[in-house]
A and B are shown apart, each in its own frame.
Chain A
Amino acid sequence: MTTYFRDIWEGIVTVLIGMKVTWRHLFTPAVTIQYPDVRLKLPERARNRLYVNMDDCIGCDQCSMACPVDCITIQTIKSTPDVDLGMTSFNTKKRLYVAQFDIDIAKCCYCGLCVPPCPTECIVMTEVYEFSEYERRNLLYNFATMKPAEITEAKDKLAVYEKEQAAKKAAAAAAKAAQAAAPAPAPNVVKDSPSNAGSSGDAPTTGNAPVTEPKA
């Protein structure tokens, strides 16, 4: 019997205590920020949309390999020695054209694993978080700045250069082979000019000289 009355009493008392708490909260100021009129300032380490500074990108592919969801696609083209691609802000020489640097920001999981491996700190996570698009293909960011004409030009140049290199190599190999296969040299052969090197047109091209395909 006493439990009956005690339960009723406890019920009433705890209800009133709860009501007191909510009554008090009726007069505390709200903690809501009225976005988008008011925006919170994000801390400086905020990890949101990725940005790549292509001037510094050396095409090393480290970020792409570090990404756990494979959202970064990089295609590079080796540059020929006569081209000067410039220096990064870390004063290192750039040797690769970056033909394609795509980040599928829809796949990105915002883990930030791509940021530490970059040797030039060109890929960063910015504080931009309002980047929704109406079309999903607009979420594929293309950071590379090379135009298609430039890309084909670079590829062709590389192909030509590599062909030349291959030819030179083949000529050198053939000359070496010829020299090794030749009889003992005459005592008064003049060994003055290295005339057996460098002449591209005369050396016989062997059919199986490896021609490296450009990384296209």
Chain B
Amino acid sequence: MITTATTDGPTIRRTETIPGLRRSLRAHEMIVNMGPQHPSTHGVLRLELIVDGEIVVDVIPHIGYLHRCFEKHCEHMTNYQQVVPYADRMDYVAAMSNEFGYVVAAERLLGIKVSDKVEFTRVIMAELSRIASHLIALGTYGMDIGAFTPFLFCMRDREHILDIFETTCGARLLYNYMWIGGLSHDPPASFKDKVRDFCRYFKPKINELNELLSYNKIFIERTAGVGVLPPEVAVNYAVSGPTLRGSGVQWDLRRNDPYSVYDRLQFDIPVGKGIKGRVGDCWDRYMVRVEEMAQSVRIMEQAVEMMPSEGDVQSAIPKRIRPAAGEVYARTETPKGELGYYIVSDGTASPFRVKVKAPSFVNLSALPAMSRGAMISDVVAILGSIDIVLGEVDR
């Protein structure tokens, strides 16, 4: 039985029993900090590891180093549109997805319906954002495992996506593009061609990434069978996104609770099947992301064809946003998982409360369950496979 941790002073604890560890090897445990500054904690996250030699007995994540009072800020915004730049900055690698979640929630609260052109553009932006986020996830994951080259290949591919974003709305990373009721800029004339070019460019790059990293025996050895998250445990922890689908659970909000125009698009939901190890291991989660990128390309190809070229993207933007008192909870599928916005309105122009259910926050809570009994190198691998962004965890 492992006693609960106290974090004032170096407490030395004894393990009574731990599965797989022989009693005769009972040793004093060491507390090691994978501190807030660490090359592979994906941001400022402090992981307090209680280790017995190389075997991790417990992991206690300490968060809050990147807390920027997003939800409190929202209460003081003069109107609902001003929340969008702040929402961008939560999951800063996939900013469009955050905006998408917020505008879906706000439009549901206000009862606004937007045109097809806006919807399809939003879907394309969200899918580009998904690919961008997964590229970072896979690249940094490779780097955590020790392969430095795939990271740069992923960054090179991501530049193309950021170029598309820059021609459309002027910014590369934090866009303020999706506004309540529409978009901030009409997509330029070159938009559709650029998206098609990107889809054509990107498909062989996925194969290259698979050759270099995914099917590499050393990579498989490091990730297959490591950090297994059984499906029931995943569901109990409310894990979502590729972390959940890696455990074999077929649940994607774009299919199970469709929003925007996802119900008109054809795509598959990749799930982990335990091909290389066990279902729900790190390799499964990684592979789910790789295959999701391919599916996003498929979605974008369809959306580009179905998107009307004519239309005003700003026609439905209300002049003054003053919703009736009420509340709404809307959830969208971001690259990290289920992002939920719970907006409470008190009838004034500024939101009364905006609560964000961040997927990385919830996924991170499953980390101790996955890493007990693993080695220190495995903790790095498991953390990378959950793909957290501290901006979202701390908000």
Q: Which of A3-54 contact B (CB under 8 A)?
A: 7, 10-11, 13-15, 17-18, 20-22, 25, 31, 42-43, 45-47
Question: Can you list, as one digit per residue, whether each of B77-111 has a CB less than 8 Å from chain A (1) or not (0)?
Answer: 11001111110100000000000000000000000
Whether, in the assembled complex, B263 has its beta carbon less than 8 Å from a beta carbon of chain A, the answer is no
- A20 vs B211: C-alpha distance when bound (angstroms): 9
Whether, in the assembled complex, A66 has its beta carbon less than 8 Å from a beta carbon of chain B, the answer is yes
Select the stretch in A110-118, A147-155, A166-174 that faces chain B. A110-118
CB-defined contacts of B264 to chain A, threshold 8 Å: none
Whether, in the assembled complex, B174 has its beta carbon less than 8 Å from a beta carbon of chain A, the answer is yes
Report the interface size class on chain B.
20 to 34
Whether, in the assembled complex, A209 has its beta carbon less than 8 Å from a beta carbon of chain B, the answer is no
Whether, in the assembled complex, B171 has its beta carbon less than 8 Å from a beta carbon of chain A, the answer is yes
Given known A-B contacts A14-B217, A21-B212, A113 and B168 have beta carbons under 8 A apart: no
Interface of B is mostly: helix
Q: Evaluate contact between A46 and B170: CB separation under 8 angstroms.
A: yes
CB-defined contacts of A109 to chain B, threshold 8 Å: 85, 174
Interface core residue of A7, A10, A13, A68 (most chain B CB under 10 Å): A68
Given known A-B contacts A7-B217, A113-B81, A22 and B212 have beta carbons under 8 A apart: yes
Q: Evaluate contact between B170 and A113: CB separation under 8 angstroms.
A: no
CB-defined contacts of B216 to chain A, threshold 8 Å: 14-15, 17-18
- A7 vs B221: C-alpha distance when bound (angstroms): 10
CB-defined contacts of A13 to chain B, threshold 8 Å: 217
Whether, in the assembled complex, B27 has its beta carbon less than 8 Å from a beta carbon of chain A, the answer is no
Q: What's the minimum C-beta distance from A105 to chain B, rounded to whole angstroms?
A: 15
CB-defined contacts of A21 to chain B, threshold 8 Å: 208, 211-212
CB-defined contacts of B86 to chain A, threshold 8 Å: 68
Whether, in the assembled complex, B176 has its beta carbon less than 8 Å from a beta carbon of chain A, the answer is yes
- A109 vs B89: C-alpha distance when bound (angstroms): 10
Cross-interface CB contact of A43 among B83, B167, B176, cutoff 8 Å: B167
Given known A-B contacts A45-B185, A113-B85, A11 and B217 have beta carbons under 8 A apart: yes
Q: What's the minimum C-beta distance from B192 to chain A, rounded to whole angstroms?
A: 16
- A186 vs B15: C-alpha distance when bound (angstroms): 111
Q: Evaluate contact between A110 and B171: CB separation under 8 angstroms.
A: yes
A-B contact pairs, 15 of them (CB 8 A): A7-B217, A14-B215, A14-B217, A15-B216, A15-B218, A18-B212, A20-B211, A25-B153, A43-B166, A43-B167, A43-B170, A109-B85, A111-B85, A113-B82, A125-B170
Given contact pairs A45-B168, A113-B82, enumerate 20 new A-B contacts (beta carbons under 8 Å): A14-B217, A15-B216, A17-B216, A18-B213, A21-B212, A22-B212, A25-B153, A43-B167, A45-B166, A45-B167, A45-B170, A46-B170, A47-B169, A68-B77, A68-B83, A68-B85, A110-B171, A110-B174, A111-B88, A113-B81
Top 3 closest pairs, chain A to chain B, by CB: A47-B170, A111-B85, A68-B82
Residues of B within 8 A of A (CB): 77-78, 81-86, 88, 149, 153, 156, 159, 166-171, 174, 176, 184-185, 188, 208, 211-213, 215-218
Residues of A within 8 A of B (CB): 7, 10-11, 13-15, 17-18, 20-22, 25, 31, 42-43, 45-47, 65-66, 68, 109-113, 116, 125
